[in-house]
Structure 1
Amino acid sequence: MPYLTATATDTRHTHAGPGVGVPGYAHPLLASDQWNALARPGAPVHWAVLNVHDGPGICPDPRCLEAVGQLRNAGVRVLGRLDAAYGRRPFDALMSDARRYLDWYRVDGFLLRRCPTHHEALPGVRRTSAGLRDLHAGCHLVLGHGTHPHPGYAALADQLVTFSGPWSDYRWSQVAEWTADHPPERFCHFVHGLPRGHLDEALRITRWHGAATFYFTDRTDRGGTVDPWETMPGYWDEIVSRLGTGVSE
């Protein structure tokens, strides 16, 4: 059976300052060049999400093992993607997926996508957060709300995704007042459909809104029929040149 020889403590560093959080590229078999680009020296990557098959899959995947090992050897955190289904996913199912991610890929934490936002769901997410940290003491936990949640969620995770959507909404978006009580390192923004010519404007908005981790792409969701995050943006090298020290090819 495939396995990783690296351990969680082998992740030596992450990019300091503003940087990219990758919501999850397509399978490494289909997007090998894109996964390789994340491990290049100087790439401003805070973390990248691994989604094997709507979760960890049913057995270790050799291609994913290779991609994860490459990223972690480059000092990039790898997070497993868990689906909270807006609070409807059973606790035991989430923990089962998390254990497989840890056993097979030795991930550094998790992105809890479709995380609920309302106050009534706080106890359930608090239980999930505590359970994930019990499984992995060094867990880096990101709650994927996609919008500003109740402020109580800030105490449950390392980072919150407080925007996920199209550029047409992001450029006019407002930030919740309570976020000013927390440093930018606590917040992430995911923006799709961003034209190349508006990249600098988007970076300014992210800074003004107090988010240190972001993902911008010119890909779109085509009316909700495709996942815009699965493919690297056409201006990836421009993002690297603005934030990192990598060399464009």
Structure 2
Amino acid sequence: MSYLTTPTGLTRAPTGPAPLGVGVPGFAHPLLAPTEWAELLRCCRGAGTRGVAPVHWAVLDVANGPGARPDPHCMPAVARLRETGVRVLGHLDTGRGARPFSELISDAHRFLEWYRVDGFWLDRCPTDRTLLPAVRKAATCLRTLREDTYLVFAHGSHPCPGYAESADQLVTFAGGWSDYRFSQVAEWTADYPPERFCHLVHGVPRSHLDEALRIARWQGAGTVYLTDRRAAVATGTAGDAWESLPGHWDAFVSRIGTGVSE
């Protein structure tokens, strides 16, 4: 298990006092996934009780963004989640840095006006140093739109360290179990606490949940989402793997709720 080794330039990230929690990267529309939204709400309402994992945030993606008009099905679903104290994040696609600044901010305004989101999920966030100034500019503007705006940069891999200065949390892994079980963590992440990092893993068999959670803790991630669903090969992205409820959802959240030993 190579996550227990330390090759050149890589090291184990420190574990900290923050509890491991769940981040939900985006269930399908409430009309298409009513069970998923209902189960998420149940979990949010039960967070803090024995065997129920805390939900750190959930992403709202109406139509690759806020959509063209307020959605009458998403509005009450979001309101119920926010009543539990869980952050709801609006999905903003950065296009790996290619999307115009004005479009991002326009989508953000609609998310706030229609759904009163608590922050934003910057999907397909770039990782290289050359695009860092543009992402910083967008993040600075987004933070002025509401008080205590929470920002998650969904890189999917380790970005250059400068991105950590502008986000509340970075997604430093988003991919399949076959890659995750042999993944490594960048050395610079050891300078930050676990709540600054998130791992999203699809294709995780139920029998490997404990191992996956140990990897997350070892690598210093404070937020995780593990599903046995797999990304459709035709799409080339993992997005569809997050849209439906994991087949081992109860086992997943209960393991986080009770803790997994090192």
* CA distance in structure 1 between the aligned counterparts of 2:164 and 2:212, rounded to whole angstroms: 24
> Per-residue deviation at 1:243?
2.1
> Per-residue deviation at 1:227?
1.1
Which residue of 2 is the match for residue 6 of structure 1?
Answer: none
Corresponding residue SS for 2:158? coil
Counterparts of 1:23-62 in structure 2, within 5 Å, are 23-40=25-42, 41-42=46-47, 43-62=53-72
> Per-residue deviation at 1:38?
1.4
* CA distance in structure 1 between the aligned counterparts of 2:222 and 2:133, rounded to whole angstroms: 27
* CA distance in structure 1 between the aligned counterparts of 2:62 and 2:95, rounded to whole angstroms: 17
- Cα-to-partner distance string for 1:171-226 (whole Å, 9 max, x where unaligned): 00000000000000000001001111100000000000000101111000131437
TM-score (ref. length: structure 2)? 0.86
Gaps of 5+ in 2: 1-17, 48-52
TM-score (ref. length: structure 1)? 0.90
Is the Cα contact below 8 Å between 1:39 and 1:76 reproduced in 2? no
User: Which of 210, 234, 240 is matched with 1:227 structurally?
Assistant: 240
> Which residue type is aligned with residue 143 of structure 1?
F
Alignment identity in percent?
Answer: 64
Which residue of 1 is the match for residue 105 of structure 2?
Answer: 95
Gaps of 5+ in 1: 1-15
* CA distance in structure 1 between the aligned counterparts of 2:212 and 2:253, rounded to whole angstroms: 15
Q: CA RMSD in A?
A: 1.2
Aligned length: 230
* CA distance in structure 2 between the aligned counterparts of 1:243 and 1:31, rounded to whole angstroms: 24
Q: Which runs of 4+ in 1 moved over 2 A?
A: none
* CA distance in structure 1 between the aligned counterparts of 2:131 and 2:191, rounded to whole angstroms: 22
Confirm whether residue 20 of structure 1 aligns to residue 22 of structure 2.
yes
- Cα-to-partner distance string for 1:14-39 (whole Å, 9 max, x where unaligned): xx611111110000011112111112
* CA distance in structure 1 between the aligned counterparts of 2:228 and 2:255, rounded to whole angstroms: 17
Corresponding residue SS for 2:247? coil
- Cα-to-partner distance string for 1:64-95 (whole Å, 9 max, x where unaligned): 01110110111111000000001000000000
Confirm whether residue 240 of structure 1 aligns to residue 240 of structure 2.
no
- Cα-to-partner distance string for 1:86-113 (whole Å, 9 max, x where unaligned): 1000000000000000000000000000
> Per-residue deviation at 1:232?
1.0
